[in-house]
Amino acid sequence: MSTALGILGGTFDPVHHGHLRLAIEVLERLGLDEVRLLPTATTNLRDTPTASPAQRLAMLEAALVPGLVADDREIRRGGRSYTIDTLIEMRQEQPQASLNFVLGADAWNALPRWHRWQELLDYANLVIATRPGVTLTDIPELAAARCETLAEFRAARAGRVLVLPIPRLPISSTDIRARLQAGHRVDYFTPAAVVTLIDRERLYRD
Ligand code: ATP
Ligand code: MG
């Protein structure tokens, strides 16, 4: 088999153990070569991040372990980040690779609001990380792409959808920012190296 990559986009404002465990779970369960974490520049779907792109990237880089890679292309591109542009670019770079774009259930449910979302499957597979009790919105246009088995999914370089039950740690960047704003510590929500950067730059505090 040629290269198999996971792609996890996010604001990472800041990155935390929820994101990192998700990346490791996907890496191991799909048998990927690496998972690329892509901080977005800005998107039309949410407010401008609090930390600068350079700060979000530095925190992400401080959090990485083998198998996880930071990919700063959306930040370098600047302006609004559209996943479709990123996947087109990655497909051009890696014509033979299996590309697997990872989404949480929340992101899947918002997918029909994404720019050119119907074309995403032309370039990559989609992996939906969810847990029991969470309702996944039916997206009829993508129903036929859904795989029931891992073997079927892993045979495709693009075009298929897999639902993976993955436990979600009860951590969010929003909660981390709120705690810092209130003057509290965020140790153990995110790697110690990230806490060090947050403290050094007094991020999210004032
Ligand atoms: P915010 O609170 O600012 O929205 P967040 O913690 O939700 O931040 P994002 O950058 O919005 O983080 O999320 C990026 C990706 O990581 C999304 O696909 C999201 O579903 C997933 N994700 C976020 N938090 C968790 C978590 N605790 N466990 C598993 N996946 C997560
Ligand atoms: Mg979020």
Whether residue 53 has its Cβ less than 6 Å from ligand 1: no
CA of 36 to the centre of ligand 1 (A): 15
Instruction: Name all contacts of 48-52 with Cβ < 8 Å and 24+ positions apart.
Output: 49/11, 49/13, 50/13, 50/177, 50/203, 50/204, 51/13, 51/14, 51/203, 51/204
Q: Is the pLDDT of residue 125 over 70?
A: yes
Separation CA 6–CA 183 (nearest Å): 36
Burial of residue 194, with CB atoms counted within 10 A of its CB: 0-12 exposed, 13-18 middle, 19 or more buried: buried
SS3 of residue 12 by DSSP: coil
Instruction: Give the model's pLDDT for residue 44.
Output: 63
Residue 184 lies in a domain: yes
Of the listed ranges 37-46, 53-62, 86-95, 171-180, the least confidently predicted one is: 37-46
Which atom of ligand 1 lies nearest, measured to the CA of 49?
Answer: 3
Query: For residue range 164-189, what is the model confidence (pLDDT) as tens digits?
Result: 999 889 999 999 999 999 999 999 99
Instruction: Give residue 1 CA to ligand 1 midpoint distance, Å.
Output: 30
For residue 13 and ligand 1, the question of a CB distance below 6 A is answered with yes
168 lines ligand 1 (CB under 6 A): yes
What's the confidence (pLDDT) of residue 45?
A: 62
Q: What is the pTM of this model?
A: 0.94
d(CA 38, CA 163): 21
pLDDT of the residue at 48: 67
* Ligand 1 mutation target, pool 8, 21, 22, most atoms within 8 A of CB: 22
pLDDT for the residue 42:
74
pLDDT of residue 79: 85
User: What is the number of structural domains in the chain?
Assistant: 1
Residue 30 has pLDDT above 80, yes or no: yes
Q: What CATH code is carried by the domain that includes residue 175?
A: 3.40.50.620
Rg of the chain over CA atoms, in angstroms? Answer: 17
Quickly state the pLDDT bin for 15 (edges 50, 70, 90).
very high
Q: Is the pLDDT of residue 43 over 70?
A: no
Cβ(39) to ligand 1 under 6 A?
Answer: no
For ligand 1, whether the C-beta of 19 sits within 6 Å is: yes
> Looking at the domain assignment, is residue 206 inside a domain?
no
pLDDT in tens, 69-110: 999 999 998 888 899 999 999 999 999 999 999 999 989 999
- How far is CA 10 from each of CA 46, 72, 82, 132, 148, rounded to the nearest angstrom? 11, 11, 12, 23, 27
**Of 20-29, 83-92, 129-138, which gets the smallest average pLDDT?**
129-138
What token pair was written down for 204? 């999210």
For 44, the domain range is 4-201
What is d(CA 147, CA 28) in angstroms, rounded to the nearest whole number? 18
Q: What percent of the chain clears pLDDT 90, i.e. is strictly above it? A: 86
The residue-averaged pLDDT of 47-65 equals 91
Distance between Cα 90 and ligand 1 center (Å): 22
Edge-to-edge strand ranges of the sheet holding 161-165? 68-70, 34-39, 4-10, 98-104, 125-130, 161-165
Residue at 113 is within a domain = yes
pLDDT at 1: 57
Read off the amino acid at residue 116.
R
Would residue 21 count as lying in a domain?
yes
Q: How far lies 177's CA from each of 80, 168, 197, in Å?
A: 23, 19, 14
